[in-house]
């Protein structure tokens, strides 16, 4: 669990996530990486994604996919980020009907908000980040489900701990 008392701490987590993604880029280009973002409305899911995208070099407007369902961000010639928001889904089949499954592929990093709305149609997560309000800030709980997810998580934890010690 990481405590994020300020918006700057959420941005720092986004930076460390971006650095860890880049450190694992070879595996991502071969396998893809699926990240689930969990938390209530206003928990910081989009803020964390925005901070990660900025740290990956995305400039310009980064908007929430609440109404569009999907926003796409090319990072370089090998990696593309897909930011999904399934909040408006009425049934998991909408995921299949929209043809989103093809976005979960090698070279793709997916950030999925409200993934429970896509149910079992959604491919498994490599990394889950649960955000919960706590005092004036939030808590982040990170859980890995695959070896790649674990490698990303380890790099984040090491960098977070190293910074906290200084």
C-alpha distances out from residue 93 to 63, 89, 121, Å: 25, 9, 7
What value does the mean pLDDT of the chain take?
92
> How many helices (H) and strands (E) would you count in the chain?
5, 7
Distances (CA, A) of 67 to 19, 58, 64, 89: 29, 21, 8, 11
pLDDT band at 135 (very low <50, low <70, confident <90, very high): confident
pLDDT tens digits along 57-71: 999 888 888 888 999
166 pLDDT above the threshold of 50: no
pLDDT at 165: 55
* Segment (H or E) for 123: none
Residue 71: phi and psi, rounded to 5, are: -125, 140
Domains of the chain (ranges, CATH numbers):
2-164 (3.40.50.300)
pTM over 0.85: yes
Distance CA 90, CA 78 (A): 33
pLDDT surpassing 80 at residue 11:
yes
* pLDDT tens per residue, range 92-129: 888 888 889 999 999 999 999 999 999 888 999 999 99
Q: Count other C-beta atoms under 10 Å from residue 141's C-beta.
A: 13
* Cβ contact 11:51 at 8 Å: yes
Q: Is the pLDDT of residue 89 over 50?
A: yes
């Amino acid at each position: 669990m990481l405590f994020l008392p300020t918006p700057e701490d959420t941005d720092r987590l986004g930076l460390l996530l971006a650095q860890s993604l880049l450190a694992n880029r070879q595996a991502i280009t071969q396998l893809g990486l699926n990240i689930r973002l969990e938390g209530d409305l206003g928990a910081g899911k989009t803020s964390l994604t925005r901070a990660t995208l900025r740290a990956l070099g995305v400039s310009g407007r980064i908007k929430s996919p609440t109404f569009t369902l999907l926003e796409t961000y090319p990072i370089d010639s090998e990696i593309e980020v897909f930011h999904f928001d399934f909040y408006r889904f009425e049934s998991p089949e909408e995921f299949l009907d929209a043809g989103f499954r093809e976005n979960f592929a090698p070279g793709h990093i997916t950030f999925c908000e409200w993934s429970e709305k896509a149910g079992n149609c959604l491919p498994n997560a490599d990394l889950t980040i649960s955000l919960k309000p706590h005092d004036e800030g939030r808590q982040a709980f990170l859980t890995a489900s695959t070896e790649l997810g674990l490698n990303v998580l380890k790099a984040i934890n090491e960098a977070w701990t190293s910074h906290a010690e200084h």
